[in-house]
Chains A and B, each alone.
Chain A
């Protein structure tokens, strides 16, 4: 009987420990994911054998911030894919929530077609991937670099320093990739992204975590 109690307590501790899992910090190895792309196929980062790394951008259809960055994301992908860093866009929103009704899988397909996305646009079904990265809004960006040890987080935060494209002074993502290509570490490695809160009914997934 006592043993059962101990087991139960251990289980409770293990579960609560899991839900309090903190988001990746710079330098951490990140887990690969397997998410459905707009072409109906499942995609993982390890599928891209020749890539040096990836720019993961949590973004969506409805958010005006995301929309303001679409053309910049397309241009970045075009400029850096041939250098080994491709964009992977991921929609983290729950489309069953009224505010995110424009972010359904079907409307993602439509949006990608309309804007002629040349990069994957994945659906974080079940909302399991974005909490691991600690993404809280759209757009929220993360750069992972392939290393001997695995996929390493090297940058997280904003795409650049101004939502108004004409006023941009610091192109954080482009500068970070340039640094990586030159064998250096991105500086800054952490910035703060601004945008629409990720639409999720489970608020524990959106807790602002350390870092």
Chain B
């Protein structure tokens, strides 16, 4: 009697567990398909693409890259942010200097979604900016801001520099490409 009850329970639990598992598995797979894809792809007149990411997709594509030799410079900016726009040329200059090296620059725009076609694309076109610009949808910003850095107060410009060994988050603007290079060299071996 006891044994059969035990068996019964085990079978029940197994069924329950496997069903449950299937549900989570299914949820995970459907998530991972949509979660790493951009929400939208915009194109400038120069033909360069601007991907619009939710935070989940942004995290997968840009924050969790772990190629051992590559260092990422992730700059948070917006066309409406004066100090951000002022420091962009220093980033572009350094990006050119490091073009043959294992450093990737990404410019994360926090522009208003309704302004992407009217402000962001014309801004990039007017200045002929072909660097890698992506847009981060700020939906539920409080849930993810600390995932970028716990110390982030919420102001831009801000820059994250990381590789598989080191990481620094700088909530500041840079006054020259040399100043930025100094910060970068503290992360690169």
Interface on A for B, CB 8 Å cutoff? 63-65, 68, 98-99, 136-137, 157-158, 161-164, 167, 169-170, 191-198, 208
Given the known inter-chain contacts A99-B82, A136-B154, A137-B153, please indicate yes or no for A194 contacting B112, CB distance below 8 A: no
Of A99, A164, A193, A196, the residue contacting B112 (CB under 8 A) is A164
A193 to B151, CA, bound (A): 13
User: Chain A contacts of B113 at CB under 8 A?
Assistant: 164
Question: Interface majority SS on A: helix, strand, loop or mixed?
Answer: loop
Q: Does B36 contact A (CB under 8 A)?
A: no
Do A163 and B142 touch across chains, with their CB atoms under 8 A apart?
A: no
Q: Is the CB of B141 within 8 A of A197?
A: no
Question: Contact: B146 with A64, CB < 8 Å?
Answer: no
* Distance from B152 Cβ to chain A, minimum over Cβ atoms (Å): 7
**Distance A99 CA – B141 CA, assembled complex (angstroms):** 25
With A164-B112, A197-B83 as known contacts, state yes or no: A137 contacts B141, CB within 8 Å: no
Q: Say whether B138 faces chain A, with CB atoms less than 8 Å apart.
A: yes
Known: A194-B145, A195-B154. A164 touches B114 (CB 8 A): yes
Most interface-central of B82, B83, B110, B112 (chain A CB within 10 A) = B82
A121 CB → nearest B CB, Å: 21
Tell me if B141 and A162 are in contact (CB < 8 A).
yes
Residue B33 is within 8 A (CB to CB) of chain A in the complex: no
Nearest A-chain residue to B80, judged by Cβ: A64
Sorted nearest first, the 10 A-B pairs with minimum C-beta distance are A64-B80, A197-B155, A194-B154, A99-B82, A137-B155, A136-B153, A208-B153, A192-B154, A191-B142, A193-B154
Q: List residues of chain A with CB within 8 A of the CB of B78.
A: 64
CB contact between A192 and one of B83, B112, B142 (< 8 Å): that residue: B142
Bound together, the chains give a CA A66 to CA B140 distance in angstroms of 18
Whether A158 and B155, one on each chain, are in contact in the complex, defined by CB atoms closer than 8 angstroms, is no
Interface of B is mostly: loop
Residues of B within 8 A of A137 (CB): 153-155
Q: How far is the CA of A98 from the CA of B154 in the complex (A)?
A: 22
Is there contact, CB below 8 Å, between A192 and B155?
no
CA distance A196 to B158 in the complex (A): 11
**What's the Cα separation between A128 and B145 when bound, in Å?**
28
Q: Which residues of A contact B156 (CB under 8 A)?
A: 197
**Contacts known (A161-B142, A192-B146, A196-B81); A64 close to B112, Cβ less than 8 A:** yes
Least Cβ distance of A142 to chain B in Å?
14
Contacts of A194 in B (CB 8 A): 110, 138, 141, 145, 154-155
Bound CA span A99–B87, Å: 14
B171 within 8 A of A: yes
* B27 close to chain A: CB less than 8 A: no
- Evaluate contact between B152 and A192: CB separation under 8 angstroms: yes
Interface residues of B in 127-169 (CB under 8 A from A): 138-142, 145-146, 151-156
Could you tell me the distance between the alpha carbons of A196 and B25 in the complex, rounded to whole angstroms?
41
Q: Specify which chain B residues have a CB less than 8 angstroms from the CB of A193 in the assembled complex.
A: 154
Contacts of B155 in A (CB 8 A): 136-137, 194-198
Contacts of B138 in A (CB 8 A): 162-164, 194
